[in-house]
Amino acid sequence: MLLSLIMGKSTPEEILLSLLLTIPTVLIALSFHEFAHGWAASKLGDPTAKNLGRLTLNPFKHFSLVGSLLMLLVGFGWAKPVPINTRYFKNPKKGMAISAAAGPLMNLLLAFIGVVIYALSMKLFWRHMSAQVFYATALFFTNFCYMNVFFAVFNLLPIPPFDGSRLLFAFLPDKQYFAIMKYENVIMIVVLVGLATGILDLPFEFIAEKILSGMEWLVNLIL
């Protein structure tokens, strides 16, 4: 991620190029993620996101300064959560599960589309690319696919405000769910310490790389 480039031996030109290519990825990943939440909830009868102007792909409607900066620097972060009112759902727990899952699934879809476009561009146009264009293309799609997968995996953490907590609510009895959520602050601190120290990098990266490898295998099989 960008922070590793800054702390490493990368040149200012490499850091600037990575910054210019990563910013669009962050904006796309966050805005599509939150839009997917709102769209799924809307289809299930909840007009809250639409009424608040959050049913949009405009990234500035979903912008969180801290979450976006973290996403840019280290690859994990968050946007401003789209409000969901479960009272509009016929089945609140099922509706919450579907709405929560829509965000990570959207990021996985974006990553898969990125793998397809990258594979096609390399197959059709690599002979006509200069070394600089080839490098920039490879860097953009590598960042784009990896960050979307990593963001999807990260958001499945079962603690607020991440989507995993909403999925947990959908599948656990209320008593057990609220018993766990009593310790949400402690869990959040543990997770942030684990991420800051790199302890959680290995499992997250392992899962993300396995998902990307599966996508690449499928795309290569198709093409």
| Residue 206 to residue 56: CA distance in whole angstroms | 32
- Supply the residues annotated as catalytic: 34
Region of residue 130 (phi > 0: left; psi between -120 and 50: alpha; otherwise: beta): beta
Q: How many residues does the chain have?
A: 223
Q: How far apart are CA 127 and CA 134, in angstroms?
A: 9
C-alpha count within 13 angstroms, C-beta hemisphere, residue 105: 11
Cα–Cα distance, 171 to 139 (Å, whole number): 39
- What is the rounded distance in angstroms from the CA atom of residue 197 to the CA atom of residue 34? 28
Coil/strand/helix, residue 119: helix
Contacts of 90 (CB under 8 A, 6+ apart): 44, 45
